[in-house]
Structure 1
């Protein structure tokens, strides 16, 4: 006889399993967690310890069984009890397809014009991998791929790692189960069928990690998901974030099915099975057309890929009446959207300069219709990615475009590479080391994948971004110089470089959209006012890569004057607090460009000025040296930036968040969670008057 369990462990293990399954459902399916991750981990570890001490308490549906980690010798064939059939596909993306389908259904059901419209369940057609989940008495016992429809592959070890998929169904959540006296007996067999897929954001993050590690990237989310599901090592699958939605059933024994398909999906959702909410019951051809158009408009905004929608007669009795034809149901149709992938030929590889100076290789393509539009350019991301995919001029490539996403070259069809294909891409060699827009030197810092133009103040491609940064509140603080106005000034050719800003007149500005005479005068006054600034603000305003506010202050404090910073060598720059080799090289590269020095010189000639020092260290005691402040809420008279500058001038440091190392919290009106945290840590609280008194002391 099996050994009896200690009475205190078995109930606790059962309680922990219930809690963890509940919280996993809230987190993975409802996206509404009730407890923090640390609390979930604590419960998980407690259950894990119990099961390790008493292995016989471990159940197949235990949350600890999600990640098995075993490397299998191969995937075992699984014969489907109910074949996983395909659905007829209509590739004509116009509304006529939906109307033809409804007309066929009405003819098959012998319905006349006077009869009511047919009701359909309309759903998304996910672009993923079909899967069959077999539950016995409510517990997941097997997961299998579609395969050839008759026989698939056992991938249970991987499917258990997908947090959205319940290991045990919430059978008692169904009203029908409660009506049966609350029986705990779930169906003898319930096979749930659905789609495994990868969200776009998870796919992009995975490819970024692959690029950073120098590994091969995946072509699209569908291929990535399919590859992960068929992995032999479930630890690899667990490291990728896969998702699942159910759309139907396979073998069912011991459950009287609802009368409609839509009600069946509702029931699955109550059992804890993920069912997508973008579905509806629609009436007749107009309902089908409307659903297809509605989802088509949303397609680009969905967090995952779809390649169409699916129409199914909702009434199960009518489905049975129509039956199947050529192993396809007569009562269902997949209505596609324009393809998101096509093949074409690379005619050339160009290089574009982005608004921050980033250089991006772009494939010039033989025009191809993909994703609902004609595409003739596709991004190659960066030089490393272009080389990794080995994209060359003359290659046949697969181009991908999802919604409004910029088209990209997903992969090369190597077997079609012509004998006269171009050489492997070399960005520096192609450009001769110069920016194609302004001729400034290009550089790539150690450890980075992107080449960049160093002519930030001069390069036309970076003009708008440079002006907006220069005018920012923490830089030159030019009030009224916003995004829309800068766009008009740049596109109209009125402002080509930063010094042009200080030549603007009220008459010029008043002629622009949404600029009245008063607004124009206010901006001219703001430009004039900005000429009186500080060296740290001016340094920060120049937009030197890696030089933020703190570094600008350190540079100004150390050197005392702009000329000494411009002339400083890398070893001299490295003497500045918190300036490392990357920052020092970036500063030197910036000031070595004649264009940048000319712009700086012209700005100074136009009257921009600040107080400078001789660069010797200031040993005057700072009253707030070593003290850390955090600002929150709105102060009556000081804005956040003014308060920060006065604290730093007195030697204090201003941090963004409260910690045990914070000395003072300066709180104004509508102070939020930072005030609560400061009280929790016992940190000294100041209002504006208290800060003024402290600064005066």
Structure 2
């Protein structure tokens, strides 16, 4: 191999600049840690004068050989770190405090604000998280507040700006009943979140439908928020199983849904019947059951019937399923309403077993771990391809792992594979293995 043309990152930047390539004019070489800290502070002070948005500075180890030795984790280089500027804040006033209802019944307070601009975005609503946070801030309707927006995070209220009128304003109290359906609100012991106890609450039904139809769940194209709102508000869909009884004439009567769009939606709903048990479990919205946990449960059970009968203790014995997840899943399947929905889904033709794709299964029984960046496909696509060919993808490397597929910037998982003696595949070898090389 040819030697690197430079030995430091700084040398590389100077060479790029000399060649006419764009290099940020504010890049600095800092010989000491003190210089680096002073530079970060100076750049933060200059932030408002920049003609572009910046939320921080990246500090990098200068010597390329040291960069190579430090390597990467599965998420980032070990030789670089971000110094984040203080999040931008703005002062505004709370017009009123609203309470939103999520798909699990969680009642989440949010502040409706007098619109204010932060970092180029107009902010008119901010999270208040929960009742305990409202009490800690002592935030009340009408109060002037500081609102913060850091990166892509949902804006939130940082503090109340003192003013004499504050004490005369009534304190906010979480509603005793759901603001949407009027059912009793309950705060489970040990939790900070209040919940609506009515699983048929229209707000919960809407959120459950959107989650069920999402890409990583049942992947029902055209089932967007506007359609879901109409389906629930018109009483056409009261639970997940009702989706499979919708017809083109019924849907074509909805606002902004012509016959062609209605036909496409019905077709997408019918196609979702064959997604398999793992995606169905994820789509059901069981608390603490994400995609990976759903795959573990599906692989262990093989079919829905076994899960419907499983106790907390039985589920907790599954490798990768902790006591909290086991208790949540067992509780979900012990609820009569949930069992009824599952039975109706089955009657509608939704597959209750783990999907088995047709064709050869060259990866049958093989366990893979993915790390790094693949240039030919996304991680999700690689996961789906492995599964379709009979393999299984897990998140951690163990002695039972057959292959670690290492793309660019592979990190600690690649190191784990080498330490445990697990076979590793670069992208070309992986593509050859799956017949795409």
Q: Give the TM bin, normalised by the shorter chain.
A: 0.5 to 0.7
Equivalent residues in 2 for 1:351-430, closer than 5 Å: 353-360=101-108, 371=114, 381-388=129-136, 399-400=143-144, 410=160, 430=176
Which residue, 265, 275, 281 being the options, matches 1:539?
Answer: 281
Cα deviation, 1:221-265, whole Å, max 9, x if unaligned, reads: xxxxxxxxxxxxxxxxxxxxxxxxxxxxxxxxxxxxxxxxxxxxx
Equivalent residues in 2 for 1:70-81, closer than 5 Å: none
Which residue, 85, 93, 105 being the options, matches 1:340?
Answer: 93
Equivalent in the alignment of 2:181: 437
Cα deviation, 1:547-602, whole Å, max 9, x if unaligned, reads: 01221122223333323322322222211222222212322332343332222222
Equivalent in the alignment of 2:195: 452
Task: Give the 3-state SS of the residue equivalent to 2:427 in structure 1.
Answer: strand
Report the Cα offset of residue 628 of structure 1.
Answer: 2.1
Q: 1:461 to 1:439 in 2, by over 3 A?
A: same
> Alpha carbon RMSD of aligned pairs, Å?
5.2
Q: Does 1:304 align with 2:89?
A: yes
Report the Cα offset of residue 544 of structure 1.
Answer: 0.6
Which residue, 340, 346, 351 being the options, matches 1:609?
Answer: 351
Equivalent in the alignment of 2:292: 550
Report the Cα offset of residue 438 of structure 1.
Answer: 7.5
Report the Cα offset of residue 543 of structure 1.
Answer: 0.7
Maintained 8 Å contact 2:99/2:107? yes
Q: With the length of structure 1 as denominator, give the TM-score of the two structures.
A: 0.40
Cα deviation, 1:136-173, whole Å, max 9, x if unaligned, reads: xxxxxxxxxxxxxxxxxxxxxxxxxxx99xxxxxxxxx
Task: Give the 3-state SS of the residue equivalent to 2:143 in structure 1.
Answer: strand
Q: Does 1:25 align with 2:48?
A: no
- How many Å separate the matches in 2 of 1:473 and 1:370? 32
Task: Give the 3-state SS of the residue equivalent to 2:192 in structure 1.
Answer: coil
Equivalent in the alignment of 2:404: 663
Which residue, 325, 330, 340 being the options, matches 1:598?
Answer: 340
- How many Å separate the matches in 1 of 2:158 and 2:38? 40
- How many Å separate the matches in 2 of 1:350 and 1:19? 44
Q: With the length of structure 2 as denominator, give the TM-score of the two structures.
A: 0.60
Q: Does 1:588 align with 2:330?
A: yes
Report the Cα offset of residue 37 of structure 1.
Answer: 5.8
Cα deviation, 1:2-61, whole Å, max 9, x if unaligned, reads: xxxxxxxxxxxx964666544542356344877526669xxxxxxxxxxxxxxxxxxxxx
- How many Å separate the matches in 2 of 1:34 and 1:362? 32
Maintained 8 Å contact 2:276/2:351? yes
Task: Give the 3-state SS of the residue equivalent to 1:519 in structure 2.
Answer: helix
- How many Å separate the matches in 2 of 1:372 and 1:29? 26
Equivalent in the alignment of 2:24: none
Report the Cα offset of residue 466 of structure 1.
Answer: 0.9
- How many Å separate the matches in 1 of 2:185 and 2:433? 48
- How many Å separate the matches in 2 of 1:305 and 1:651? 48
Maintained 8 Å contact 1:378/1:409? no
Report the Cα offset of residue 504 of structure 1.
Answer: 1.4
- How many Å separate the matches in 2 of 1:496 and 1:453? 16
Q: 1:506 to 1:401 in 2, by over 3 A?
A: farther
Report the Cα offset of residue 507 of structure 1.
Answer: 1.9
Q: 1:504 to 1:384 in 2, by over 3 A?
A: same
Q: 1:536 to 1:426 in 2, by over 3 A?
A: same
Maintained 8 Å contact 1:361/1:381? yes
Q: 1:570 to 1:453 in 2, by over 3 A?
A: farther
- How many Å separate the matches in 1 of 2:202 and 2:106? 13
Structure 2 unaligned residues grouped into runs of 5+: 1-29, 48-53, 64-83, 117-124, 149-154, 356-362, 419-423
Maintained 8 Å contact 2:128/2:157? no
Equivalent in the alignment of 2:391: 650
Q: 1:505 to 1:635 in 2, by over 3 A?
A: same
Task: Give the 3-state SS of the residue equivalent to 1:586 in structure 2.
Answer: helix
- How many Å separate the matches in 2 of 1:551 and 1:487? 29
Task: Give the 3-state SS of the residue equivalent to 2:89 in structure 1.
Answer: coil
- How many Å separate the matches in 2 of 1:340 and 1:441? 28
Equivalent residues in 2 for 1:266-281, closer than 5 Å: none
Maintained 8 Å contact 2:374/2:427? no
Equivalent residues in 2 for 1:43-442, closer than 5 Å: 201=87, 303-305=88-90, 340=93, 353-360=101-108, 371=114, 381-388=129-136, 399-400=143-144, 410=160, 430=176, 437=181, 439=183, 442=186
Maintained 8 Å contact 1:358/1:450? yes
Bigger mean CA offset, 597-606 vs 479-488: 479-488
- How many Å separate the matches in 1 of 2:99 and 2:312? 30
Q: 1:465 to 1:642 in 2, by over 3 A?
A: same
Task: Give the 3-state SS of the residue equivalent to 1:531 in structure 2.
Answer: helix
Q: 1:412 to 1:562 in 2, by over 3 A?
A: farther
- How many Å separate the matches in 2 of 1:587 and 1:435? 27
Maintained 8 Å contact 2:387/2:393? no
Q: Does 1:577 align with 2:319?
A: yes
- How many Å separate the matches in 2 of 1:478 and 1:494? 17
Which residue, 259, 283, 307 being the options, matches 1:565?
Answer: 307
Considering Cα pairs closer than 8 Å and 6+ residues apart, tell me whether 1 or 2 has the greater RCO.
2
Report the Cα offset of residue 506 of structure 1.
Answer: 1.4
- How many Å separate the matches in 1 of 2:44 and 2:158? 33
Maintained 8 Å contact 1:455/1:596? no
